Structure 1
Amino acid sequence: MTLPSTHDVALAAERRSAARLLLAHPLVTSNGPHRDTFLLIRRHADWLAQRFQQVLGYRLLVEASYARLFKAGLGSGSGQRLQRPSTGTPFTPRTYAYLALALSVLVTAPEQLLLSQLVADITAAAVDAGIEVSDMGRQAERRTIAAALRQLVDWGAVVETEGHVAAVAEDQGGEALLSVDREIARAIVAGPLTISRDGADLVRRAADPGFGGPRTYVRRRLVETPVVYLDDLTDAEREWLRSRQRREAQAFSELLGLEAEIRAEGIALVDTDDELTDLRLPGTGTIAQAALLLVERLVDRLRPTDPGHPATGGRLVIGVQIPDALLPELIEELIEEYGRRSNWQRGLLEDPDALLAAVLDLLARMRLIAASGPVRADGHGLPDNYDDGAPHGRSVTDVVGARGQDRPSQKDGWVLLAAAARFAPTVATTPAPVPADSADHVTLESPR
């Protein structure tokens, strides 16, 4: 066995750093906060472009002043939403509308223009597109425009030469001089605009894995979501993953430095450096703290007693139904036990329903819970052998009753998923003997 040379190790480390940055920040500029790593992207541009195309079907464009990784998305309802940096508030549909209108203006804008002119051009573009524009005198509307423009500044499409885009939200209508990078503005939109009929068609086409088929789609899910469960996948996707999971784990370790955790229920790619995620649990703030406490109690209450291991004939439990009354009951308990003495946000303490909604939203994005019912957000449809009349949740080829036996008739319930067991405060395990090749698979009752 020949050991890699120092040069080979250094080369692999450079390429891995560049690939990790592009995955986390698909638009990197030469004068932005990641300018040092941008030089590595330029140095290894050809190799990176080839690997991203082969592995994920992503196109990489590297120019003198920026690099843009065109991600494909995973379909409707699966995108990572933009947030206002100052508050963490998610963009509203109206903020996205102003962002799209601003981009439509910037691709043909002069190299410099006044903030007031940009806002006027955005308003005119909205009229041309048939979009109703609210009263620009309303401060809430001006703040929405400012949030969209702030995002364009962060991306480098707009540079604040004199003043700031936040001036648009001032009561007296402040002014600023802006410089425009039309190339970056053109590179921001990743989907096939020219051939898409509408927004839904654009999202569907963007998520199409093309000739890569199940291979490309599953790889995208692995790197873009916290965990992939077996019953997230179609038969073809699941069979491909089962036959390739060890080799794929090694490939992702070499390309991105991600470690695969392979379980009976599915697979998660873990970043030990904690750099490639915008979702963290445990985390800081009221919602993250309440979410951690809630998921601990849910696991404690709902952990299956002894489902056994699927390799020895046991029933694989990917998730269990959460009783409707349990969630509001637990959130009230947490408010009383922790919230009032832990400086949780007062507004959320006074509105338990809003706190619960925010907590469930975080846990769902973390893939620790999921809405019950036969729904796949990615547009690829349900597993081929799904039986809507079955008494259990989603049926897959070799997984019986994957999401538990008590599938509700309503579509708005919640299911606690297997990865939630990682956050259980204490675990006592008495695993059944399993074959050697399945020893690293554990179910909801025995997380590592």
Structure 2
Amino acid sequence: MPGSEEAGTSRNIAQQQRSHQREEFRAAVRALLMTPLMTPAHEDFPLVRRQADMLRGWFSRETGWPLHIEQEGARLYKRPAELSATTRGLPDYDRRRYVLLCLACAALERSESQITLRVLGERLLQLATEPALASLGFVFTLGTHHERRELVAVCKTLLEIGVLQRVVGDEDAFVHSGSEQADALYDVQRRTLAGVLAAVRGPSTWRPEEAPETLDERLSALVDEHVADSDEGRRTALRHGLARRLLDDPVIYVETLNAEARAYFVNQRGAMSARLCDAAALTAEHRAEGLALVDETCLLTDVAMPAEGTDAHATLLVAEHLAGALRISGSVEADASPHPTTFSEHEVIAFLRDAKMKYGRYWRKSAREAGAERELAAIAIERLEKLHLIEVGDDGIRALPAIARFGLGETEIRDPRETRGVQAAEESGSA
């Protein structure tokens, strides 16, 4: 009947629209998690604007993170649940470079709509002479190649997040020559600049006599949020804190939670992980030791594993080696000699030195040189620590339970020519 056919067509169209909306919402959630400060130039900004209402509601309900979306950009105010994590932060940034980044933002806040690299450097020189910085031993003169490189690194960070937009010029020429002719001109995006700080309370609001003294106290004061003094308020705070960790960190280990958070996590992690996975297109891995939300595409992460390249391959080899040691340790009988679960950096270096004999021909040339295993070991340890697969302490490197997922066994290396021959033989046989 014509009416039935039309009704069926309408249902199919409605289902397709709902499916499209759902996929667009997921893409927007993932985009904001990876780029919480987003400008209109970002490829996913249009869909973020289209899904604005749903996104605001979801992030507020599940994580407690405020989300502001305007025509000029979007800002997800992500606040970490774990302030003591040493693996967070911008790559290649130390405390000195963070000071320069803050000074640069302060200088841009007072600047015109355009500024040159050289003028920004001069403003930093003025701000760096503040007595409070000088009393801490901070010195910035812009007179050396290293200091010019630091300034350019800060500018490139501001370019990446959209605070600055290059009009003309070359930063690298400024680093190498430092002459008057080597310069760059930028547009200052004030709306983006205003969204850089994700604190609950800005540090400029503290009176000198009330300002926190230690770094830990300052970090806590920046993100201290009001929690309603009720059972529901405390449960909501626990849920938000755990959701933030699940979306921000590679894995949550039960042993790292306090008693109250552990009780809530054990009872609610199934329902919580299902909601987060559904919205962000993740896969939950439940283990007795904890929970990980895994992105099968390896796109929703700062450190992908496995990945391509020599450094990534060396990291995977170290992970497999440590996973094997952890597996052996877990299977040792009570009366047997215990297998070590803690390793030194020297042992990792020695392992990579042996691995270089087997896999070196697949690595980049510099990684095959004598002594290169030291650099590879440092890179691998840093990556594994960021992924919460190992813990680095004074007593050495301890493999954590989640590293067991990389216990792949013996690697089989095939020559591409042999692989093509096997495929041809199989195709010939099937024909």
Both structures adopt the same fold (TM-score exceeding 0.5): yes
Corresponding position of 2:187: 179
Q: Which amino acid aligns with 2:402?
A: A
Corresponding position of 1:33: 42
Query: What are the Cα deviations for residues 361-401 of structure 1, in whole angstroms up to 9, with x where unaligned?
Result: 111111111135xxxxxxxxxxxxxxxxxxxxxxxxxxxxx
1:423 aligns with 2:406: yes
Q: 1:268 to 1:302 in 2, by over 3 A?
A: closer
In the alignment, the residues of structure 2 paired with residue 241 and residue 348 of structure 1 have an alpha-carbon distance, to the nearest angstrom, of 48
Q: 1:156 to 1:323 in 2, by over 3 A?
A: closer
Corresponding position of 2:342: 322
1:204 aligns with 2:227: no
1:332 aligns with 2:368: no
In the alignment, the residues of structure 1 paired with residue 349 and residue 133 of structure 2 have an alpha-carbon distance, to the nearest angstrom, of 42
Corresponding position of 1:282: 306
Contact map agreement 2:63 2:240 (CA 8 A) in 1: yes
In the alignment, the residues of structure 1 paired with residue 107 and residue 330 of structure 2 have an alpha-carbon distance, to the nearest angstrom, of 60
| Post-superposition offset of 1:75 | 0.4
Query: What are the Cα deviations for residues 240-269 of structure 1, in whole angstroms up to 9, with x where unaligned?
Result: 111112211220122211111111111110
| Post-superposition offset of 1:305 | 5.8
Q: What are the equivalent positions in structure 2 for 1:85-124 lying under 5 Å apart? A: 90-124=92-126
In the alignment, the residues of structure 2 paired with residue 334 and residue 260 of structure 1 have an alpha-carbon distance, to the nearest angstrom, of 32
SS of the residue 2:341 aligns to: strand
Question: Alignment partner for residue 71 of structure 1, among 78, 83, 100?
Answer: 78
In the alignment, the residues of structure 2 paired with residue 286 and residue 349 of structure 1 have an alpha-carbon distance, to the nearest angstrom, of 16
Q: 1:371 to 1:253 in 2, by over 3 A?
A: same
The answer to which of 279-288 and 414-423 deviates more is 279-288
In the alignment, the residues of structure 2 paired with residue 306 and residue 275 of structure 1 have an alpha-carbon distance, to the nearest angstrom, of 32
Contact map agreement 2:113 2:187 (CA 8 A) in 1: yes
1:50 aligns with 2:57: yes
Q: 1:345 to 1:48 in 2, by over 3 A?
A: same
SS of the residue 1:75 aligns to: coil
Backbone CA RMSD of aligned residues: 2.8
In the alignment, the residues of structure 1 paired with residue 220 and residue 316 of structure 2 have an alpha-carbon distance, to the nearest angstrom, of 34
| Post-superposition offset of 1:302 | 3.5
- Radius of gyration: which is bigger? 2
In the alignment, the residues of structure 2 paired with residue 213 and residue 79 of structure 1 have an alpha-carbon distance, to the nearest angstrom, of 24
In the alignment, the residues of structure 2 paired with residue 66 and residue 233 of structure 1 have an alpha-carbon distance, to the nearest angstrom, of 36
In the alignment, the residues of structure 2 paired with residue 103 and residue 64 of structure 1 have an alpha-carbon distance, to the nearest angstrom, of 22
1:356 aligns with 2:377: yes
Corresponding position of 1:10: 20
| Post-superposition offset of 1:284 | 2.9
Corresponding position of 1:294: 318
Q: 1:203 to 1:8 in 2, by over 3 A?
A: same
| Post-superposition offset of 1:287 | 2.6
Q: 1:121 to 1:159 in 2, by over 3 A?
A: same
| Post-superposition offset of 1:11 | 2.1
Q: 1:227 to 1:113 in 2, by over 3 A?
A: same
Q: 1:245 to 1:307 in 2, by over 3 A?
A: farther
| Post-superposition offset of 1:14 | 1.9
**Which protein is richer in helix relative to its size?**
2
When the two structures are superposed, what TM-score results if normalisation uses the length of structure 1? 0.75
Corresponding position of 2:133: 130
Q: Which amino acid aligns with 2:384?
A: L
The answer to which of 190-199 and 5-14 deviates more is 190-199
Q: Which amino acid aligns with 1:33?
A: H
Query: What are the Cα deviations for residues 7-61 of structure 1, in whole angstroms up to 9, with x where unaligned?
Result: 322222222211110001011111x232xx2122222223212211221121111
SS of the residue 1:130 aligns to: helix
Corresponding position of 2:148: 142
Structure 2 residues not aligned, in runs of 5+:
1-10, 228-235, 411-431
Corresponding position of 1:371: 392
Contact map agreement 1:70 1:190 (CA 8 A) in 2: yes
Contact map agreement 1:209 1:217 (CA 8 A) in 2: no
Query: What are the Cα deviations for residues 180-214 of structure 1, in whole angstroms up to 9, with x where unaligned?
Result: 11221121011232346354333224555653332
SS of the residue 2:68 aligns to: strand
In the alignment, the residues of structure 1 paired with residue 193 and residue 172 of structure 2 have an alpha-carbon distance, to the nearest angstrom, of 19
Contact map agreement 1:367 1:417 (CA 8 A) in 2: yes
In the alignment, the residues of structure 1 paired with residue 301 and residue 399 of structure 2 have an alpha-carbon distance, to the nearest angstrom, of 21
SS of the residue 1:274 aligns to: coil
Q: 1:7 to 1:355 in 2, by over 3 A?
A: closer
SS of the residue 2:302 aligns to: coil
